[in-house]
Amino acid sequence: MAATVATIDDGLLFDLESTCLLSAVEGKPRRPLLVVARELLDEFEAFRSGEKSAEGPNAVPSNLIYFYNMGSLIQYHRGELQKAEEVCSRAIAICREMLEENRSAHWGSEMLQPLINLGRIEAARADLQTSLSIFNSVYQYVFGSRDLTIDGYRLSSNLVPTFLERETKLQEIARTVYLTDSIRAYLFAEDYSGLLCFLEPLASSSQYQDQFFTKRIIEAKARSLIALKQTRRALELLSTFLRLDPASAWKNIGLYCLVGNIYSVSGRPDDARKVLGMIEKCVDFVTAIPAHESAATAHIIYYAALTAWQAGNVQLTASLAKRSLSICEKAGHEVGTLKALCLLLKIATRDPLALNETTVGVLYERLLVATLECSYGIEKAIALHELAMFAPSNNGFDGTRKALLLRAGEILRENQARPPIRRRLLAGLRKDGGPERLEKDATDEAGDALLDGLYRRLLNYSPLAQS
């Protein structure tokens, strides 16, 4: 008899999106990590061979530190936070070595991005205070309030004007990081009361009056209030903001989704339907303009699909999920593709007619291929778990289901990011019977070798040894 496996809880699907502010979604697609790693390794080897120079008449330290920032990001998405930290620390050490050799002062400014990345790593570990301290120290430094000490090396605030000559947007970056990454750190740690306290003075600060920032503050406050079960206050906050510019509703799809979520969980189906109608019109408007088809748009449409799913509107969920999937596939957005396929597979099993010609088997095979090629840690584990739920249960396929679950569990145990979410996901996995540990398949082994090879190359490189 086939083992029963519980699919990923619908509420947890929202939790998984909780740290990705819809008002601050990254526009760049999350391409396959192995593809990015191969390209980066090829570029790095060209750099090492002398085709690019880290020093010289037109010294560009960012030529080198770029590789470290990207290499750290790859390990971060993989869930290897310790390796990501080591790559950042090596970048900072290289900058320090070059400064101590009296090379270009701009090596000092190149320390800032790896330091910010260290803050993001600590946030993903749910080490709230360490991450907040880093974001605050960068903000204070760039705005000239105080010197910055990084691993024992002191950067004088007197250098900031020199840095700004070359990086004119440095203060804008510091301001954005301080707000947005601090918000995410609170969300990673699930400290919603703390987040509200953090946002209170910023809401009236002259630094954050632009709507670009205001919308992020409103969304973060609303998410905190919803998590604290203060849905009425959250609804009042969102409604007041959205009434200010009704003509720009299409720019605020994410906030309307939060309103729809509140109506759904509050037992107000008629209000939820009205909001869903508005969301659908906004999505129609956005997707009619090819220039708007970005990874950010796909993510927001996916969240809109989740909102429709929560409200019980299967047809709209299917329509939105397919739109999100189409944009993701065109953009090469691997993470978005996995999420959309997972949701479509759920729809196909509950209401096969909602997807017309698309069968469960077709979706299962598409998701299986995409998942096996994926190296994004938590996203891959979730997709494996969904595949296990829908794996054929006859002709010996119970073994396939068990293997998928075991691999999902192993990835989650090895992953170092988002501890609260990982604990809830692991609690939902059923691992009864079979081997206690599943060996990695050949695809995973080859991918790990490539990613670990890039990591070692970065750690072992020294520009001074090359000169």
Contacts of 427 (CB under 8 A, 6+ apart): none
> CA-CA distance, 3 to 1, in Å (whole number)?
7
Dihedral sign for Cα 381, 183, 293, 79, please.
negative
Please answer whether residues 317 and 358 qualify as being in contact, where contact means their C-beta atoms are separated by less than 8 angstroms. no
- By DSSP bridging, strand 153-155 and strand 148-150 are antiparallel
DSSP notation for 43-78: HHHHHHTTSS-SSSTT--THHHHHHHHHHHHHHHHH
List per-residue pLDDT tens for the chain, 467 residues long.
Answer: 333 444 556 666 777 887 888 998 877 889 999 999 999 999 999 888 875 554 443 345 678 999 999 999 999 999 999 999 999 999 999 999 999 887 788 899 999 999 999 999 999 999 999 999 999 999 999 998 899 999 999 999 999 999 999 889 999 999 999 999 999 999 999 999 999 999 999 999 999 999 899 999 999 999 999 999 999 999 999 999 999 888 788 889 999 999 999 999 999 999 999 999 999 999 999 998 887 788 999 999 999 999 999 999 999 999 999 999 999 999 999 999 999 999 999 888 888 778 876 788 889 999 999 998 899 999 999 899 888 888 766 544 466 778 888 888 888 888 889 888 888 888 777 543 333 444 555 556 777 889 999 999 999 998 887 65
Per residue in 350-370, pLDDT (tens digit) is 887 788 767 888 899 999 999
Instruction: List the one residue out of 358, 339, 340 whose CA is nearest residue 349.
Output: 358
Per residue in 83-135, pLDDT (tens digit) is 999 999 999 999 999 998 877 888 999 999 999 999 999 999 999 999 999 99
Q: How many CA atoms lie within 13 A of 203 on its CB side?
A: 14
Answer left, alpha or beta for residue 442, where phi above 0 means left and psi between -120 and 50 means alpha: alpha
Q: Which two tokens stand for residue 50?
A: 């002398």
- pTM given for the model: 0.91
Neighbouring-strand partners of residue 153 = 150
DSSP notation for 379-412: HHHHHHHHHHHHS--STTTHHHHHHHHHHHHHHH
Q: Which two tokens stand for residue 99?
A: 């400064």
